[in-house]
């Protein structure tokens, strides 16, 4: 294949993709997850120190968000795949634990 043919083929493949928009969206999802984790930690700390109990349903939603986020990255990304798999498994186990705690704690 000639250089011009390769360039033309690459342009055809990337015609309807806006990589800047994709990067912004990905960064937004990352920041949203980070803010969720920080707020959940603050709420969790507040609940523990004030004796209000723990809202396992809220934390299971936070945990499942991160499970899906890192699981999807592990499947789709070749970079840092092992780290994403480990992180997704840890969040997944936490999610299962929180769901079990929610149902066993609400009697």
Of the pLDDT bands very low, low, confident and very high (cuts 50, 70, 90), residue 89 is very high
Radius of gyration of the chain (CA): 20
Q: Is 2 helix (H, G, I), strand (E, B) or coil?
A: coil
The pTM of this model reads 0.59
Tens of pLDDT, residue by residue over 17-45, are 667 667 776 777 788 778 878 887 888 78
Instruction: Compute the distance between CA of residue 36 and CA of residue 54 in angstroms, rounded to an integer.
Output: 16
Of the chain, the percentage scoring pLDDT greater than 70 comes to 88
Instruction: Name, in order, each residue with C-beta under 8 angstroms of 36's C-beta and a sequence gap of 6 or more.
Output: 62, 65
Token pair of 19, please? 């990589």
């Amino acid at each position: 294949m000639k250089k011009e043919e390769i360039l033309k083929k690459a342009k055809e493949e990337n015609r309807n993709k806006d990589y800047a928009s994709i990067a912004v969206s990905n960064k937004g999802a990352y920041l949203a997850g980070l803010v969720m984790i920080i707020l959940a930690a603050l709420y969790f700390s507040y609940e523990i120190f004030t004796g209000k109990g723990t809202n396992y349903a809220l934390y299971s939603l936070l945990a499942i968000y991160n499970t899906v986020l890192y699981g999807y990255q592990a499947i789709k990304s070749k970079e840092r795949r092992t780290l994403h798999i480990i992180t997704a498994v840890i969040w997944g186990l936490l999610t299962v634990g929180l769901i079990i705690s929610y149902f066993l704690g609400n009697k």
